[in-house]
């Protein structure tokens, strides 16, 4: 019974977060349209494999091998979700390009950075997980470094940006996967 209550509570919490997130995005989208700055909106993505669009090296991640990417873009491309994921859908809704993965920032034209950036790394979480990758704090540090380097202007980011944050279950898996933690 306790397990069912925990599962029901978790589902209700996720439903609440999803509803809150959708409402915030719609409000931000409306606000951007009102101020005619739609073209300069930026999307910054933080989190795990649900939103990672290619930050993990090819030699490390299975997301660079089939069957990942067969539905989109037609070949493996490092997307943790295996195809069109939340960042792409949200960027499309906002009328911008999907944000460039942080790992590719030095290999693309500066104009491709105008839509924002994706800092998400598959397998990571809020805390350190079973995957050795940059956790949420480190991803935010990467973002702050770009602001200090003036890749993005602070005023522009504050006025016309949306952040997508996804932290699914990697923290739980890490907690329960460590010796001494009861999984019952």
pLDDT in tens, 20-65: 555 455 555 555 554 444 457 999 999 998 888 888 776 676 777 7
Share of the chain above pLDDT 90, in %: 34
Mean pLDDT of 159-182: 81
Dist. CA 156–CA 160, nearest whole Å: 6
Q: Which of 16, 34, 84 is nearest to 26 (CA)?
A: 34
pLDDT given at position 139: 96
Is residue 184 one of the residues assigned to a domain? no
Q: Which residues pair with 47 in a beta bridge?
A: 166
Same domain, 26 and 105: no
Q: According to the model, what pLDDT value does residue 101 have? A: 94
Neighbours of 65 (CB within 10 A): 11
Please check whether residue 183 lies inside any domain of the structure.
no
For residues 10 and 95, membership in a common domain is answered with no
Q: What pLDDT, on the 0 to 100 scale, is given for residue 30?
A: 56
For the chain, the domain total comes to 2
∠ CA 130-133-135, rounded to 5°: 90
Q: Determine the angle formed by the axes of helices 2-34 and 86-94, rounding to 10 degrees.
A: 30
Provide the residue range defining the domain that includes 20: 1-36
Same domain for 69 and 16: no
Residue 182 lies in a domain: no
Q: Is there a single domain that holds both residue 30 and residue 48? A: no
Across the range 136-144, mean pLDDT stands at 96
Span 138-163, mean pLDDT? 92
Residue 70 banded pLDDT, cuts 50, 70, 90: confident
Checking if the pLDDT of 142 tops 70, the result is yes
Maximum CA extent, the chain? 55
> Are residue 14 and residue 99 in the same domain, yes or no?
no
**Do 46 and 130 belong together in one domain?**
yes
In this predicted structure, the answer to whether residue 17 has a pLDDT above a threshold of 60 is no
Mean per-residue pLDDT for 67-91?
76
Average pLDDT value over all residues in the chain: 78
Beta strand ranges found along 104-160 (DSSP E): 116-118
Peptide bond into 43 cis (omega under 30): no
Asked if residue 118 belongs to a domain, the reply is yes
Rounded Cα distance between 176 and 1, Å, is 20
pLDDT band at 66 (very low <50, low <70, confident <90, very high): confident
Contact indicator for 29, 93 with CB cutoff of 8 Å: yes
Helices (H) and strands (E) in the chain, counts: 5, 4
Residue 9 pLDDT more than 60? no
Q: Is 54 left (phi over 0), alpha (psi -120 to 50) or beta?
A: left
Token couple for 52: 């990672």
């Amino acid at each position: 019974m306790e397990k069912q209550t925990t599962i029901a509570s978790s589902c209700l919490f996720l439903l609440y977060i999803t509803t809150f997130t959708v409402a915030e995005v719609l409000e931000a989208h409306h606000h951007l349209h009102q101020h005619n700055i739609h073209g300069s909106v930026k999307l910054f993505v933080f989190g795990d494999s649900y939103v990672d669009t290619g930050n993990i090296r090819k030699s490390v991640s299975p997301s660079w091998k089939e069957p990942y990417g067969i539905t989109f873009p037609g070949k493996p491309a490092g997307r943790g979700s295996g195809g069109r994921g939340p960042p792409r859908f949200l960027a499309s809704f906002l009328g911008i390009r999907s944000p460039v993965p942080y790992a590719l920032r030095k290999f693309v034209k500066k104009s491709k950075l105008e839509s924002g950036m994706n800092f998400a790394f598959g397998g990571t979480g809020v805390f350190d997980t079973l995957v050795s990758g940059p956790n949420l704090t480190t991803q935010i540090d990467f973002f702050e470094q770009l602001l200090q380097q003036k890749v993005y202007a602070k005023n522009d980011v504050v006025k016309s940006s949306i952040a997508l944050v996804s932290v699914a279950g990697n923290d739980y898996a890490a907690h329960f996967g460590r010796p001494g933690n009861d999984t019952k």
